[in-house]
Amino acid sequence: MARPGPKEQRYDRQLRLWGDHGQEALESAHVCVINATATGTEILKNLVLPGIGSFTIVDGNQVSGEDVGNNFFLQKSHIGQNRAQSATELLQELNGDVSGNFVEESPEKLLDNDPSFFNRFNLVVATQLPESTLLRLAEVLWNSNIPLLVCRTYGLVGYMRVVIKEHTVVESHPDNMLEDLRLDKPFPELIEHVQDYDLERMDKKDHSHTPWIVIVAKYLTKWFSEKSEQLPKNYKEKEAFKELIRQGILKNDNGTPEDEENFEEAIKNVNTALNRTEIPRGIEELFNDDCCLKLTEQSSSFWILVRALKEFVANEGQGSLPVRGTIPDMMADSNKFIKLQNVYREKAKKDTAAVGSHAAKLLQSLGKAPESVSERELKLFCSNAAFLHVVRCRSLAEEHSPNSCSRDAIISHMDNPDSEIVLYLMLRAVNRFYKQHGRYPGVYNYQVEDDIGKLKSCLTGFLQEHGLSVAVKDDYVHEFCRYGAAEPHAVAAFMGGAAAQEVIKVITGQFFLQYLQFCKYFGVLPLTGLFCSVLLAN
Amino acid sequence: MAAALSGPLRPELAQAVSQARVLVVGAGGIGCELLKNLVLTGFSSIYVIDLDTIDVSNLNRQFLFQKKHVGRSKSQVAKESVLQFCPEANIIAYHDSIMNPDYNVEFFRQFTLVMNALDNRAARNHVNRMCLAADIPLIESGTAGYLGQVTVIKKGVTECYECQPKPTQKTFPGCTIRNTPSEPIHCIVWAKYLFNQLFGEEDADQEVSPDRADPEAAWEPAEAEARALASNEDGEIKRVSTKEWAKSTGYDPVKLFTKLFKDDIRYLLTMDKLWRKRKPPVPLDWAEVQKQEQNIPDQQNESSAVLKDQQVLNVRSYADLFSKSVKTLSLHLAEKADGEALIWDKDDPSAMDFVTAAANLRMHVFGMNMKSRFDIKSMAGNIIPAIATTNAVIAGLIVLEGLKILSGKIDQCRTIFLNKQPNPRKKLLVPCALDPPNPNCYVCASKPEVTVKLNTHKVTVLTLQDKILKEKFAMVAPDVQIEDGKGTILISSEEGETEANNHRKLSDFGIRNGTRLQADDFLQDYTLLINVLHSEDLEKDVEFEVVGDTPERIGPKPSEPTSRNISNGSDDGAQPSTSTAPEQEDVVIVDSEDEGTSSNAEDVESRSRKRKLEKGCECAGAKRSRAEQEQDQDDLMIVESEDEGAASSLGEEESRSHKRKLEEKGCECIRAKSMC
């Protein structure tokens, strides 16, 4: 009998979120984290615990007293030693399944001497990097098509940005998934199955154990023949349709209706069960995407499958996506339920096979091996066909260029002077300060007063250069000076959780990404919460 | 080192932090993160309490624990690990329940701030009251999968944890479990009861054989009552004999199988009124089943043990598993000292095999689709998915809220929700302003008062004590006096003083419509005035109702596939198991590695573990529940907040959608088909 092994026990609680295939993806990933700062090690901790395959820390710094003060994975005894190595040792202890590596070199040096170094990773996380280094790194990764997560803790402000050319999600785990029942467009096998039921000539027990899907399908036929050629659409029609079903409830000898829960279920489900089967707009857009239309040898299996899906829709699917093949639990005896379930399952299998054969033809024409799309991948893809999702971000270079910096969006957001976007502008201003002065503002208390003026002029310079005619409150300038580029542990811990979550989403290819976030906690301004926007990333 | 902090923390705040004495209740997922954050934020006096011990499934996020620590005290190991990293930290660890009377109001008063990192409502209620009594600010938090929440409670300023009634955990009626299961969860609960009947501590409330007194089976209510009486006596005998009988057969798996899945089912079929509208069960015959082929595990998936666990096998395979696990468990039982029993634990493979097999066989008998071991474990153990990242985010926020409190800015504190995905406004984290106290709260109002509807001729003093005062109103050791001018003592928390009253009806003491009872909990420094509203028309299986309370709800229907369909982070498998256990009804939510808790079985377990832990001590904790755990998804769903300031419309929208989620759950519940 199947018994969970040690790994399954250890990871049990997370397998229930992303499944064993998500876990497999995680376990085969190699992630690079630049800088073993508090933010860096907190992210790593949250990747090592769930069992990332391996990590490599890149850090040329020595451990300082300040590091020991805010970083759980650095100890007093490490002071003066290399930060990458020290952190790796302690992080490694968290999980023996994870392979930890370190490189005692600054990212700048690596970029100078061996930029291809970064090609070996599935994803790179950059924490607390100066802007110039970040832009260089981002360019290298962009060209190699490696996802980058930028993460920064600056005083009480957190910043996170995913930089990814294209990210495709099959399992987006949408919140409110409607069932895919095809009652509006019943497929032949379903029609046939429903015809096998004769509600008029059933004994009472069978009548009250007929699945509601069959009941709705039956009465829909009746509706079409007696009332209208169209599906009940509005409230009035749906009520009329419900009444039609209600009349079908058996009556006892006194003429009072019996208690038939399955009919009640049918009536209750009318509203959602009669939704029209159509191709969601997002999927329609994927069909018209260049990546789908112009397949090449380099095309990913995702796009090959999108194309196969498109061809299925145009042919066997007769305008519809493959049947998902699952039905909700319902009042019915198991025999009837299983038969009905099998009708949907078999149809789903058939549709999946049809998509599969389109895919096989496409693979062949591209000169690819047929097994480059696995059976499991195909199945997962088809059952999620309505929820496929593609994310495309702008490069960091584009975001930073004065010519393409989302000027209008920023200006319109700044109509509210406390919009979170102000935090972004301030971060850009401190970056400029760093570039001009070789340090961040207000690192030592004695500098704060002086630096306020300097930071203000950096901000003005930045806004002018980017043609941003917006006013930033002085409060923000003061606050950012006071931060002194510190990395308080609680904020780093928070960012560590949020960023690791995004890394896991990118690696597992499940769930929606956040693109970009800011958060700010307290101080002179009311808590504004965590902001996330496609504004700058798209 | 403090240099890193002097920037963002103003000097006054940095000083307040270093002088604060804080209590962390729970050293699980949130607790571990929290201890680290506190130490590194400069807190120098930290107390931590947790009664739990470390389990393997904690290790994917409770980073202060390693494999070698499995089985040891969470609070103790957490302290040692933190000290290893930060030797200068000053941590005091208690391996104990926070509900122990040693931790009285005086104990709480020494703290500047209390932070809950719990996973069950009983302990949350209790800490809430202790903090109100001691007037110490409390930061409450919880996570479930991707969802999380943090809020601040301050006496007289904000809502307390109990200001808004939380839906109580619906327990399943005995006759649904014993006679007419209609959902897999009913069969799983039954299988767990069966485990206790056969191998564990027997409990009269966990009967598994057909219930002849099922009123639904009788035409006349009077007749049902007569049958009930008769079967009670009968039941007594039976209960004693289930285990004895099993022993006398030498735990012969075939004989057990035949009794449970054939003879008992045949007996049920004779109660033909039950099957007029239901599909009747189909008895299973051992010899017939043995003719079936055994399942050969899916070759394709051989590589992954996880997948194997997720496969549904056939009846023959479950029959064999039943037989095998009965044999193993009876050997385990034989190794125990006389009178000692096995304790159900979802992480004990044989115990889990037994429940998987017995539940599936019963599901099959009652025409339900069988479930995989993985799914059954989820439902039986009330497992809530739990990940490091959510806990990290929430623990970070707890400290930031704590800093606001320490800087005297409680007005800036917020209830913060962490969502699974960004809402339409692209927010992942939604702050909502704190609400003022509910003037009618039966806990934090100046003179707490409630009206309870019950039948004074039926409700016993014991029911009043265990189900109403302890379970419903979360008292630990209540004293009750009748406001009859004479001050008659009905219940005393002193042992031995009022036990004689236990089985007498309230009406025997002159309690009738309009009587007022004064209930005191000395430990919680809490007095509740109860107005009795006598009623004879309560629904079946309902012993009492609190007037103005939200009706009880059953948890989401647990029959959908659990592993993939995670709609809101609390996988539906995480739902209720059962349990009439007085102290842990809401453990529904538990991140079970902390212990499936939740059902009677575990209740027993916790009690007996407790005993183990308290060797030598007087077992004061017989009624104490497992306290320190994390995660209670309840509070993720119940909160509704209003908002103000810049984020206002967003917050409001969000809290509304939280509420909606709750309502959706409610809807699902209505759909659950408890027929009894």
Return the CATH fold of B11-166+385-432.
Rossmann fold (3.40.50)
d(C-alpha A490, C-alpha B9), whole Å: 12
Average pLDDT estimate for A282-286: 95
Identify the three-state secondary structure at position B616: coil
pLDDT given for residue B308 in this prediction: 67
Closest CA to B242 of B200, B212, B210, B198: B198
B115, B306, B420, best to mutate vs chain A, most A CBs in 10 Å:
B306
Q: Confidence band (pLDDT; 50, 70, 90) for B3?
A: very low
Average pLDDT estimate for A155-167: 88
Greater pLDDT, B80 or B666: B80
The residue behind tokens 């209590």 is B23
Average pLDDT estimate for A52-73: 95
CA distances from B195 to A3, B188, B605 (A): 19, 11, 13
Query: What is the number of residues in chain B?
Result: 676
B429 and chain A in contact, CB less than 8 A: yes
A532:B573 CB<8 A: no
Domain chopping of chain A, boundaries: 6-165+488-521, 188-274, 281-332+339-391, 401-483
* Annotated binding residues of B: 26-31, 50, 58-61, 74, 97-98, 119-124, 160, 163, 441, 444
Highest mean pLDDT among B167-171, B489-493, B541-545: B489-493
d(C-alpha B604, C-alpha B583), whole Å: 11
Identify the three-state secondary structure at position B222: helix
B40 and chain A in contact, CB less than 8 A: yes
Identify the three-state secondary structure at position B224: helix
B369:A337 CB<8 A: yes
Is B175 a residue of the active site?
A: yes
A190 token code pair: 């379903």
- Give kind and range of the element (H or E) at residue A353: helix A334-365
Burial B283-322, CB ≥16 within 10 A → b, else e:
bbebeebeeeeebeeeeebeebbbbbbbebbebbbbbbbb
Burial of B331 per CB tally in 10 Å (0-12, 13-18, 19+): exposed
**CATH architecture of the domain with range B174-216+241-292+307-381:** Orthogonal Bundle (1.10)
pLDDT in tens, A463-481: 999 999 999 999 899 989 9
B389:A4 CB<8 A: no
Identify the three-state secondary structure at position B490: strand
Give me chain A's average pLDDT, please. 89
Question: Distance, in angstroms, between A401 CA and closest chain B CA?
Answer: 25
d(C-alpha A270, C-alpha B666), whole Å: 19
Q: How many CB pairs under 8 A join A and B?
A: 272
A17 and chain B in contact, CB less than 8 A: yes
pTM: 0.76
Average pLDDT estimate for B564-590: 28
d(C-alpha A11, C-alpha A4), whole Å: 10
Q: Confidence band (pLDDT; 50, 70, 90) for A162?
A: confident
Measure the CA angle with vertex B454, ends B453 and B459; round to 5°.
155
Residue of B nearest to A22 (CA): B564
d(C-alpha B60, C-alpha B41), whole Å: 24
| Beta bridge mates, A54 | A30, A99
Give me chain B's average pLDDT, please. 75
Question: Distance, in angstroms, between B663 CA and closest chain A CA?
Answer: 14
The residue behind tokens 């962390």 is B24
pLDDT given for residue A90 in this prediction: 93
Q: Please check the confidence at residue B300 and state whether its pLDDT lies above 80.
A: no
Sorted by sequence, the CB contacts under 8 Å of residue A491 that are 6+ apart come out as A153, A155, A156, A157, A158, A521, B8, B396, B400
CATH, domain B449-547, list 1.10.10.60, 3.40.50.2020, 3.50.50.60, 3.10.290.20: 3.10.290.20
Average pLDDT estimate for A186-208: 92
| Beta bridge mates, A125 | A33, A149
Average pLDDT estimate for A79-97: 95
Greater pLDDT, B172 or A146: A146
Least confident of A51-55, A445-449, B110-114, B558-562: B558-562
Cβ within 8 Å of A, B 588-607: 591, 593
- Considering only CB atoms, B387 lies closest to which of A17, A69, A76, namely A17
Greater pLDDT, A459 or A164: A459
d(C-alpha B221, C-alpha A117), whole Å: 81
Average pLDDT estimate for A344-362: 96
Residue B145 backbone class (left: φ over 0; alpha: ψ -120 to 50; beta: rest): left
A49:B396 CB<8 A: no
pLDDT given for residue B209 in this prediction: 82
Q: Which of B175, B187, B669, B676 is catalytic?
A: B175
CB of B18 closer than 8 Å to CB of B44? yes
Q: Please check the confidence at residue B53 and state whether its pLDDT lies above 50.
A: yes
pLDDT in tens, B395-425: 999 999 999 999 888 888 888 888 776 665 6
Least confident of A331-340, B136-145, B618-627: B618-627
- Going by the DSSP 8-state scheme, the letter that residue B173 receives in this structure is P
pLDDT given for residue B108 in this prediction: 97
pLDDT in tens, B207-240: 788 877 665 654 444 444 544 444 444 443 344 4
pLDDT in tens, A11-29: 888 887 888 889 999 999 9
CA distances from A167 to A41, A374, B489 (A): 25, 20, 70
The DSSP secondary structure of B40-63, one letter per residue, reads HHT--EEEEE---B--GGGTTT-T
Q: Give the whole-number percent of chain B exceeding pLDDT 90.
A: 39
A78 contacts in chain B (CB < 8 Å): none
Neighbour tally for B15: CB within 10 Å:
13
- Considering only CB atoms, B60 lies closest to which of A49, A493, A527, namely A49
pLDDT given for residue A174 in this prediction: 79
Domain chopping of chain B, boundaries: 11-166+385-432, 174-216+241-292+307-381, 449-547
Q: Confidence band (pLDDT; 50, 70, 90) for A99?
A: very high
Cβ within 8 Å of A, B 362-421: 367-369, 373, 378, 383-397, 399-400, 403-404, 409, 412, 414, 416, 420-421
Q: Please check the confidence at residue B321 and state whether its pLDDT lies above 70.
A: yes
ipTM rounded to 2 decimals = 0.85
Identify the three-state secondary structure at position B443: coil
Cβ within 8 Å of B, A 282-321: none
A371 token code pair: 């097994």
B269 and chain A in contact, CB less than 8 A: no
Q: Please check the confidence at residue A3 and state whether its pLDDT lies above 60.
A: no
d(C-alpha A158, C-alpha A518), whole Å: 5
Burial B399-414, CB ≥16 within 10 A → b, else e:
bbbbbbbbbeebebbb
Closest CA to A521 of B416, B32, B160: B416
Sorted by sequence, the CB contacts under 8 Å of residue A251 that are 6+ apart come out as A257, A258
Long-range contacts of A362-370 (CB under 8 A, 24+ apart): A362/A295, A362/A304, A362/A307, A362/A308, A363/A304, A366/A295, A366/A296, A366/A297, A366/A299, A366/A304, A367/A297, A368/A297, A368/A304
d(C-alpha A373, C-alpha A170), whole Å: 14
pLDDT in tens, B276-286: 777 889 999 99
B18, B393, B669, best to mutate vs chain A, most A CBs in 10 Å:
B393
* Annotated binding residues of B for Zn(2+): 160, 163, 441, 444
Q: Please check the confidence at residue B646 and state whether its pLDDT lies above 70.
A: no
A445 contacts in chain B (CB < 8 Å): 6
pLDDT given for residue B213 in this prediction: 63
Q: Confidence band (pLDDT; 50, 70, 90) for B542?
A: confident
Q: Give the whole-number percent of chain A exceeding pLDDT 90.
A: 64
Q: Give the whole-number percent of chain B exceeding pLDDT 70.
A: 71
Which superfamily, per CATH, for A6-165+488-521?
NAD(P)-binding Rossmann-like Domain (3.40.50.720)
